[in-house]
Structure 1
Amino acid sequence: MNRPAVFFDRDGVLNEDIGYLHERTKFRWTPGAREAVKAVNDVGYLAFVVTNQSGVARGLYEEADVRDLHAWMAEELAAVGAHVDAFEYCPHHPEATVEPYRRSCMCRKPGPGMITNLMNRFQVDPVRSFLIGDRLTDVEAATRAGIRGYLFEGPDLQQFIRSRLSRTG
């Protein structure tokens, strides 16, 4: 049975976008972010994070740093009874300084790859699913994956998500 899902962009949606974030000491949740993930969980939707992480391609940090930060985020969410079903990230960039990461790929938003991979892996219902991002490239990725995309400009992610969940029922 296909389940609906909410795909969250990370930087600028779940946390303040400070540029190339990879350290938990610099991480700041956006207002209502943890509660928004819990609201998604409470209505039975899958919760995913899809994030471009070109800092890896630029040599600013390692993939292990991204995974460690995501594990820490999962712990923080668990403390409020929330969870993310899967974290996906794209470490590639066409102008990378780290050679193995220099490429154009379909997983880097606005490409739909991260979203479609999760949709296939978890048998997601595209009709009731949507993405929340803070850039037009996020919304474009959602459209290309066959789901709705919403632009989040603040201030409170919990209020924003509740109004979107009530529309999709």
Structure 2
Amino acid sequence: MLKKALFLDRDGVLNIDTGYLYEPKDWRFMPGIFEVLRWFKERDFLLLLVTNQSGIHRGYYTMSDFIEVSLFMQRELKRELGFGLDQIYFCPHTPKEECSCRKPLSGMILQGIKEFDLSASDSWLLGDKSSDIKAAKGAGIGHSVLLSALEEEGEKPTFRVDSLSCLSQILQNHS
């Protein structure tokens, strides 16, 4: 049987989006994210981060800065939950570079599907922008959640929620 995963965006989903976050001292987890991650992990989902990090190629921070904040995030997740993310995929490119890994393209998700032999149709994506949902649809992800109070143009998610606590309620009913 193929495995399944929760693909999730970083800024605005895993952590509060402060714009080009690269220092551990500025890291704040989104309210409710621990409950969501726990729900998926208890159901044997892999937790795979897919994040655009154009700040690297824009020169706002270095690859080392990104790695340092990622290690901090993983330590904090393990401290709080007893587990961290199973893999981190990131795109350091700017939109002008037109790479296949930058969302809304599906490169990072497709890489995860291939590397972990995943069932895309049984997997989920949690994002906060329509580009996240478009990337999920392009990769054949079965369920997508848009964490946004705003109605956005583009691909329609399976669920739209304005908070992670709302998502937790949906998940409890989805069991």
Q: TM-score, normalized by length of structure 1?
A: 0.88
Aligned length: 161
Q: Secondary structure at the match of 1:127?
A: helix
Give runs of aligned pairs for residues 150-165 of structure 1, distance below 5 A: 150-153=145-148, 156-157=163-164, 159-161=166-168, 163-164=170-171
Runs of 4+ in 1 over 2 A off after TM superposition: 153-159, 161-167
Identity of aligned residues (%): 37
- The answer to whether the aligner puts 1:47 opposite 2:47 as a matched pair is yes
Q: Cα distance, 1:32 vs. partner?
A: 1.2
Change in 2 beyond 3 A, CA 1:82/1:155: farther
Structure with bigger RCO (C-alpha 8 Å, 6+ apart): 1
Which structure 2 segments of 5+ residues have no match? Answer: 149-160
Matching residue within 128, 136, 143 for 1:134: 128
**Deviation sequence 1:91-118 (CA, Å, 0-9, x none):** 01144xxxxxxx2111000010000001
> What is the match of residue 99 of structure 1?
none
**Contact in 2 for aligned 1:34/1:82 (Cα 8 Å):** no
Q: Secondary structure at the match of 2:13?
A: coil
Q: TM-score, normalized by length of structure 2?
A: 0.85
> What is the match of residue 28 of structure 2?
28
Give runs of aligned pairs for residues 11-90 of structure 1, distance below 5 A: 11-79=11-79, 80-90=81-91
- Structure 2 distance, partners of 1:87, 1:162, is 27
> What is the match of residue 98 of structure 2?
104
- Structure 2 distance, partners of 1:69, 1:165, is 31
